[in-house]
Amino acid sequence: GDNDRFDPLFGARRFEFGPTSLYGAYARANLISPGLRIEVTPRADVDGFVAYRPAWLESDRDAWATAGLCDPQGNSASFLGHQIEGRVRWQALPNRLAFDVGCAYLAKGEFAKDAPGAVDASPFYFYSQVTVTL
């Protein structure tokens, strides 16, 4: 009868766990995930970053919330995988027009491969974005 999960209610995950929208491998639920992020600004109008994040389940008998996978017996280990993400943004017209391209790749770990209902493919997500500020 206990629910010990963190419930964020609202808010973006982008700054923590990678791009959102159709891709959202991680959320603030049953997760241990340290990360490393390197940001660069080679020119005043160009910036980008590369990020690396390994992830484990806090409890191997609980669910990987965003994937909907669960192994109540805990036989599928707890490592979810390695996520690598990158983004480049060009401010074509500063404060008016910006172009972004980015991607995320999740190299699946034992739990993501072996849990009941898991699929074998590792997701690769690519996006492009145009921001116009009026």
Contact 61, 72 (CB under 8 A): yes
How much is the pTM? 0.84
Around Cβ 78, how many Cβ atoms within 10 Å?
20
- Rounding to the nearest 10 degrees, give the CA dihedral for residues 113, 115, 118, 123: -40
Longest dimension (CA), the chain: 55
List the one residue out of 32, 31, 35, 33 whose CA is nearest residue 52. 35
Q: What is the pLDDT along the chain (134 residues), one digit of tens a residue?
A: 776 666 666 665 566 777 766 788 888 788 899 999 999 999 999 999 999 999 999 998 889 988 889 999 989 999 999 999 999 999 999 999 999 999 999 999 999 999 999 988 899 999 999 999 99
pLDDT digits (tens, 9 = 90+) for 37-49: 999 999 999 999 9
Residues 91, 104: Cα–Cα separation, whole Å: 22
